[in-house]
Structure 1
Amino acid sequence: MMTIWGRALPLLLLAGCSGAPDNGELAEAEARGSREAAENGRIECALEGAKLFDRTCTVQEMSGADGAVLVVGRSDVGYRRLNITTDGRGLVSADGSEPAKVAIVGDGMIEVTVGADRYRLPANTGGAT
């Protein structure tokens, strides 16, 4: 024989769920995850022609003969070296085999495409979109 609590408990648990996600909470959680990933040297990337981005690539800044160099990528796919320019272009391929294409994708964010690989990096975009 089921007690009143045995029948009411599932209903109480369901009542606590609204069914619809809170968009503000989701946006806050995503922003928090992005900040934590960036602090850990992780950036969004879509490698080898992938359509969707994931936050599995690393970024590291190093000093090179021609100035600052970013090393971006993932160990199981490979890395790319990008020179940071001071002439307004943003980044160029340090390896020279394939050119880097830079596009502003949001306030403070650029997308760098080299071959079939795409990387999203924080940048000083001056508020452009």
Structure 2
Amino acid sequence: MRTSDKIAGVGLLCLALAGCNENGSTQAFLRGADSESGGAAVADCAIGLRSAWGRTCLVEQAGAILTFRHADGGFRRFTILKDGRGLASADGAEPASIAILDQGQIEVSAGEDRYRLPATIAER
């Protein structure tokens, strides 16, 4: 089953990393800021083909743009979509795809890089 088929009947109401406050502005969503990362948000990621998962990607949010910074200095940017579909690639030639995981998480993939994020998921 293709990822797009898998999520066709499901809407992502709100990424846990990007909730809206009363003023409509975006607030930080990722849990897990810790002293090792200097207080920055950290996400689980697997960077590159056949890479193991690790909590090694720093996450920055500026409005509707999420930037995932890799340990090797690389990064990926995604746009938080306001229509409830999740994330889309903000730059680059490789489109983002989303898979819904158990435990209220989504997995975002772009090229050979994968990221796991908390999400609130509701059926339409």
Confirm or deny a common fold (TM above 0.5): yes
**Residue of structure 1 equivalent to 2:67:** 71
Structure 1 residue ranges without an equivalent (≥5)? 1-36
Q: CA deviation at 1:81?
A: 0.5
Question: What's the counterpart of residue 105 of structure 1?
Answer: 101
Find the aligned partners of 1:89 and 1:97 in 2 and give their Cα distance: 19
Structure 2 Cα separation of the partners of residues 71 and 42 of structure 1: 11
The structure in which a higher percent of residues are helix is: 1
How many angstroms apart in 1 are the aligned matches of 2:101 and 2:33? Answer: 21
Aligned residues of 1:42 and 1:59 also touching (Cα < 8 A): yes
Unmatched 5+ stretches in structure 2: 1-30, 35-40
Higher relative contact order (CA 8 A, sep 6+): 2
Tell me, yes or no, if structure 1 residue 56 matches structure 2 residue 56. Answer: yes
Give distance in 1, aligned partners of 2:50 and 2:58.
17
How does the TM-score come out when normalised to structure 1?
Answer: 0.61
Letter in 1 for 2:32: A
Alpha-carbon displacement from aligned partner over 1:29-78 (angstroms, at most 9, x marks no partner): xxxxxxxx722311111001134201111111112xxxx11101314141
Mark the structure with the bigger radius of gyration.
1
- Residue 52 of structure 1 aligns to a residue whose secondary structure is coil
Q: How many residues align?
A: 87
Partner of 2:32: helix, strand, or coil?
Answer: helix
RMSD, aligned α-carbons: 1.9
Distance of aligned partners of 1:77 and 1:50 in 2 relative to their CA distance in 1, 3 Å threshold: farther
TM-score by length of 2: 0.63
**Do the aligned residues in 2 keep the contact of 1:109 with 1:123 (CA within 8 Å)?**
yes
Counterparts of 2:95 and 2:85 in 1: how far apart (Å)?
12
Of 77, 82, 87, the match for 2:83: 87
Match of 1:39 among 19, 33, 36: 33
Partners of 1:96 and 1:76 in 2: CA distance: 18
CA distance in 1, matches of 2:49, 2:32: 23
